[in-house]
Structure 1
Amino acid sequence: MDWLQRMNGAINYIEDNLTNEIDYAVAAKMACCSVYHFQRMFSFIIDIPLSEYIRRRRLTLAAFEVQNSDVRVIDLALKYGYQSPDAFTRAFYKLHGVTPTMARNMGTQLKAYPRISFHISIKEDKEMSYRIVEKGEYKVVGKSITIGIDQDPYKGV
């Protein structure tokens, strides 16, 4: 269970810093692993890269702000880590299928990517069938060589 708590702690750090620069090393340290292994574990478990998860979460929060406030697009772009409103608009369009300006219209459907958390669910729903099979005699063929510590073991192979 410690593993789950550490991963959830790393996710909490990421979620708390979506409007700031996220340091992968801090998240990895919270998960007690290297940045490389944290990114690999995250991608394996969630089935999307960590950077994509962060991008989707930021654009989900931005979409909520676009629809529920009068914040300018340039301010949202800077708040969520984009260098320009054009880059933000392209990313927003790619994810939601509409521009931020179009998303302000009432009734516009946008995609939402919810926050993730890690939980274990243990199910005992499938019975495992097995059988023991006895095999007849068989021969194993190989070659044995003796080598010294200073010899190349693959020289004669």
Structure 2
Amino acid sequence: MISALNRLVDLVEEQLTQELDIGGLAGALGTTEYHLRRMFSSLAAMPLSEYVRRRRMTVAAADVVRGEEDLLSIAVRHGYGSTEAFGRAFRAVHGATPGQVRRDGGPLRTQPQLRFRLTVEGSTPMDTRIVDRPAFRLVGHAARVPLIHQGINPHIQQHINAIPPQEHSRLKGLGDSDPAGLLQVCDDVDPDGTEGSELTYLHGVAVQQDTSAPGDLDAIDVPGGKWAVFRTTGAHPQTLQQTWAATATDWFPSNPWRLRPGPSIVAILDRSPDFSTATCELWLPVEPE
């Protein structure tokens, strides 16, 4: 995976002014575009699209400062159809318009070319198992919420708090499949993991594929396949979020598995009364590399 990510970075440099064929590259490297984008955003701490935009504007800034061409020619060469669109992208990265930078020589914010390296850490073992599950359904109460990487997501918290206490007992009674118990489900997540992008959050339970859900509940049909299940214990949600990040930095680069499209599921196995600590299972859909 590290070599695939570095080849992706090389491709970005080779085709900065062209449309990138990420799917074709992923296929040639024996992986999928979905997994490649997810791993890139996790390890680079930015979406692939944002990295490409920053690199394009870094190279474009040199052309602007040199002053040898008009701004429209520079804009077109870097993939923009007008100076207005180019100017908006340029300002978003550098904090100044191309005209201001051409006049004053700056300010400029450079995005260096990334290079991924695998460092030997792994001092904390990851409690993981691979589970092969037939198709099942997730039923509960769903809402569209923005993606937030760190801390408690207030939009998800507001959604959960709006569910009456007696409804939690009702949901538990409906569950008849693994993962067991009340579940926190994230689906339709942007492969680039862009902060603020929308996802579907479902608070509910897992049921057999042929189990009918009450009409007042939302449902997500999950196809059969393998899952990597990571068990965590500690401060909540910090320990869970750290483990989630470590799947990209430690587990996937060291194991012959890749992410496949599908929901991620968190099962709360045990927790303190104030929810400051918890034992959880993180279920991620995977397939062999």
- Could you say which residue in structure 2 is the equivalent of 1:70? 68
- Could you say which residue in structure 1 is the equivalent of 2:32? 34
| In 2, Cα distance between equivalents of 1:107 and 1:86 | 20
Q: Percent identity, aligned pairs only? A: 35
- Contact 2:54 2:93 survives alignment (8 Å): yes
Residue 55 (structure 1) aligned with residue 32 (structure 2): no
> Following TM superposition, by how much is the alpha carbon of 1:106 offset from its aligned partner in structure 2, in angstroms?
4.3
- Contact 1:8 1:118 survives alignment (8 Å): yes
1:78-113 residue CA offsets vs partner (Å, 9 max, x unmatched): 111112110000111121111111111244220000
- Could you say which residue in structure 2 is the equivalent of 1:83? 81
Aligned pair in 2 of structure 1 residues 60, 7: CA closer, same or farther (>3 Å)? same
1:46-67 residue CA offsets vs partner (Å, 9 max, x unmatched): 1111111101100110011111
RMSD: 2.3
Query: Which structure shows the higher helix fraction?
Result: 1
- Contact 1:66 1:103 survives alignment (8 Å): yes
- Contact 1:67 1:103 survives alignment (8 Å): yes
**Alignment map for 1:6-21 (pairs within 5 Å):** 6-21=4-19
Question: Which residue type is aligned with residue 100 of structure 1?
Answer: P
| In 2, Cα distance between equivalents of 1:9 and 1:90 | 29
- Contact 2:72 2:83 survives alignment (8 Å): yes
Unaligned ranges ≥5, structure 1:
129-151
1:9-52 residue CA offsets vs partner (Å, 9 max, x unmatched): 12111111001121121332344221111111111111111111
Query: Which structure shows the higher strand fraction?
Result: 2
Larger radius of gyration: 1
The alignment covers a number of residue pairs equal to 127
> Following TM superposition, by how much is the alpha carbon of 1:123 offset from its aligned partner in structure 2, in angstroms?
5.3
| In 2, Cα distance between equivalents of 1:123 and 1:108 | 40
- Contact 1:7 1:30 survives alignment (8 Å): no
Question: Which residue type is aligned with residue 81 of structure 1?
Answer: G
| TM-score of the two chains, using structure 2 as the length reference | 0.40
Aligned pair in 2 of structure 1 residues 123, 25: CA closer, same or farther (>3 Å)? closer
Aligned pair in 2 of structure 1 residues 46, 31: CA closer, same or farther (>3 Å)? farther
